[in-house]
Amino acid sequence: MSNLDVEKIRQDFPILDRVIDGKRLVYLDNAATSHKPVQVIKSISNYYEQYNSNVHRGIHTMSEEATTAYEGVRETVANFIGAKETCEVIFTRNTTEAINLVAYSWGRQNVLPGDEIVLSPMEHHSNLVPWQQLAQEREAKLVFLELTEDGQINMESAKQLIGSKTRLVAVTQMSNVLGTITPVTELARLAHQHNAIILVDGAQGVPHLKTSVAELECDFYVFSLHKMLGPTGVGILWGKKEILNAMPPFMFGGDMISSVHRDKSRWNELPWKFEAGTPNIADVIASGVAIEYLQNLGMDNVRAHEVEITAYALKRLGEIKGITIYGPKDANLRGGVVAFNVEGIHPHDLGQILSDSGVAIRAGHHCCQPLMKDLKVMGTARASFYIYNTLEEVDLLMAALKEADKVMGHVACR
């Protein structure tokens, strides 16, 4: 049972008061991006109003204040994900850039012809396309894990597929379509048995699950702040210090150097070696506020709330005739993401009709086109939940689905 006071939480999110076409907003598109509490919004304006200045490069008061606030977020992130040292936390623009950084700086040094990169069939394009490009360039091979009928990793198959040729395992912590929670620690141990490393895409995981990179036993962990109450434009790459130290820079220019001469340069130490140019200062500082907001709620409480609301959603959606729900049936085995299709109604039509009822969901392939082909569909409708969603909003989703059924001339709902 969740200990979150959801009604009190909702008071911190002014956008939830929005009325669209006379209907109160029901926001169920959190897997795409989450809303921001007033504490985060005010943090951004406070930076620009009170101490707008560049970091690392000035000795005047505002520059020192900005640097202290900015670097303080690195420590906040490290504590949130259980990192040993703050220098292992690299600021990027998003999850995608973090993965590309690893593919470029680590991959091009370490992946050789004939090596294998192991992925799951659930991967977001951001955790697939960079490895496709690397494999083509390095003459390596992509190998895909198998899923069970309810969308979980087939671990018996994984033990056969991860082997002596494996150089990297790259997997999502939680699927943005199936909701499946990946057994990362087991996969990490398999990878390490064969001297391979593992990268975890935590974009859907860390906003919803209490996460420790030490307990996951991963080598790289990446995520975006905009999916966990923070602003857009801020991502995190965490990596083991010894691996990051051995990697060359991803971009070159200011702040990532320790000295520059006409014919050569020396690189800065971690983490700044990977942070060229002026960073996204205001949004990084606000991201720290977002993490602190979640920490004050308690990630165990966040998870309990989502299990409760997801279980209710699975139950209510199961009342619809002709519905197909994808992923594990047990809410304890999945995150707060429910992808589904209703027979005879295209997911895009469904999304538009629900929008007319004030209910915001997502419809499409969710940047997982290979998975859609495996599911033998062009796309799905997807409802995704977060800390401010209520059981009543699930009922409003059901009411909107019944309206969609009428509009499309079906009798799907009992």
Among residues 218, 367, 368, 413, the one annotated as catalytic is 367
* Separation of CA 264 from chain center: 38
Q: In 3D, which of 80, 309, 101 has the Cα closest to residue 206?
A: 80
Length of the chain equals: 414
Phi and psi for 257 in degrees, rounded to 5?
-115, 155
Answer for the pair 279, 306: CB distance below 8 angstroms, yes or no. Answer: no
Q: CA neighbours within 13 Å on the CB side: how many for 116?
A: 14
Give me 148's structure tokens: 């069970």
Amino acid 374 reads D
Report d(CA 386, CA 35) in Å as an integer.
Answer: 9
CA–CA distances in Å: residue 29 to residues 176, 177, 208, 338, 339: 11, 12, 14, 10, 11
Report d(CA 376, CA 369) in Å as an integer.
Answer: 10
Give me 136's structure tokens: 């083509």
Give the largest Cα separation in the chain, rounded: 75
Spell out a b/e string for 109-119, using b for 16 or more CB atoms within 10 Å of the CB, else e. Answer: eebeeebbbbb
Sign of the torsion formed by the C-alpha atoms of 76, 176, 323 and 25:
positive
Residues 6+ apart with CB under 8 A from 223: 95, 98, 201, 202, 203, 205, 206, 207, 235, 236
Beta strand ranges found along 333-378 (DSSP E):
337-342, 359-360, 362-364
Phi and psi for 46 in degrees, rounded to 5?
-65, -40
Report d(CA 33, CA 227) in Å as an integer.
Answer: 5
Report d(CA 305, CA 210) in Å as an integer.
Answer: 13
Q: Annotated catalytic, 368?
A: no
Q: Position of tokens 């977002």? A: 290
Residues 6+ apart with CB under 8 A from 156: none
Report d(CA 116, CA 21) in Å as an integer.
Answer: 52
Tell me the catalytic residues.
367
